Each structure stands twice: as C-alpha cells, then as structure tokens.
Amino acid sequence: MIIECPYCESKVDGKIIGEHVSYGDEDPHPFKAVLLECPACKESLLGYQELIQVGFEQDEWITGSNRLWPKPTNNNRWLLPSIVSDSLQEAEKCYNARAYSACAVMCGRSLEGLCNHYQTKSKTIGGGIKELLERKIIDERLFQWGEALRKQRNLGAHATGEKITKEDARDILDFADAICEYVFVLSNKFDSFIKRQEEKAKKEAKERNAEEYPEVF
C-alpha cells in the first residue's frame, strides 16, 4: 500500500503487517486501519482505507490520503485545494532542510494560492489578502498574520542580505497553515455543524407537531 514515510521523506510501497476493520455507530461505512512496514527504513507506519462505492453494487477499498501515525504535521492539509497544499508541503520540506528563506517564499506562495482560489482582483499578495479581509473570507487577526507572513516572504524572496531565522520560519509556516485551515477546513466544518443543528431542530419541531396534532384517518 502506498504511504508517505516521514523517516524517508518519500512515498513508499509499505509492506502490510496487519489490518483491522471497524464500523462506527453513526457511520455505516467500514474503516480499515492498516499497519505497514516501510520497505526502506523498516519503521512502522499506520495508514487506513475506506470502503467506497465505485459502481453499481460495487465497492472498493480506497487508500486514505493521509497517514494516521506517525501523525502528519497537519492532518487537514489534504482537505485544502492542491494549489495551496502543494506550497505548504514545499514550505515544510524547505523548513526541514533548514532552507528558511525558501520556506518563507513557499509560505507566501500558499497565500498567493489562497488569493488565486478566491480570484482576488489584485495581483499582489498584500492587495489580495486585503480583499479577502474586505470580503470577510478572513478576519482581522488572520489578516495581520498574513501581513506578517507577507513581509517575511519579501525578505526571503529578495537579495537584501537579511536572514530568516529558524524561529521566524517556523512561525510563518504555522501562520500559513492556520490561515489556510481556517479558510478551507474550519469554516466548512462550522457551516455543516450549523446546518446539522438546524436540521435537527426542524426534525424535532416536526415530531412535536405530529404528537400535538395526530392525523385522523
């Protein structure tokens, strides 16, 4: 099974050691946890598969896009549009390779991806995130994080002689992750949470109504 090995920092064809299928109470779809061994470094890895309907009365185990253990740096990155997640992944790679200026540049590219996704009119990152603030896609705090990130990105992108420190690189990578997670993951999660609550309230009201005014046959 193909899985990303964090020790080898590459995708490997993990050797399956064992698997366990479980069924949730609420969710009827079975979930399979798969224990693997990396063929290169022999470390243990835990992945998963989900049973997905692929055709008429035909189900197939599909490998989950993320590792369960060791826990990936950001569990939610796979939920982001690829234009954004690719840059964040590159930023992480640069950080791990101690290329902190390159990390800052890649974090800036993730913001560019965010602006592109929302088709902001401004072609600069600064103008783009301002527009996102005005359109209420991000709030004031995230805007400030974005601004801090943008300034570090400019230091990293231009040959000014100023160095990006390890701490600064880590912080702006965390800011970039947080901004993207807020926009693409938590906002969606909150919307579906509210929708579920509304549907529940509607269902309860309907049931109450049926009890108070039973139909007469």
Give the residues lining the site for Zn ion (CB under 5 A).
Answer: 5, 7-8, 38, 40-41
Shortest gap between Cβ of 15 and Zn ion (angstroms)? 11
Shortest gap between Cβ of 177 and Zn ion (angstroms)? 24
Shortest gap between Cβ of 155 and Zn ion (angstroms)? 35
Nearer to Zn ion, 7 or 78 (CB): 7
Nearer to Zn ion, 36 or 111 (CB): 36
Shortest gap between Cβ of 9 and Zn ion (angstroms)? 8
Q: Compute φ and ψ for 68, nearest 5 degrees.
A: -85, -35
Nearer to Zn ion, 7 or 193 (CB): 7
Nearer to Zn ion, 11 or 203 (CB): 11
Residue 181 has which token pair?
A: 């997670």
Please state, in angstroms and rounded to a whole number, the distance separating the CA atoms of residues 150 and 126: 7
Residue 18 has which token pair?
A: 């064992």
Nearer to Zn ion, 89 or 120 (CB): 89
Burial code (b: 16+ CB inside 10 Å, e: under 16) for 23-40 equals eeeeeeeeebbbbbbbee
Shortest gap between Cβ of 39 and Zn ion (angstroms)? 8
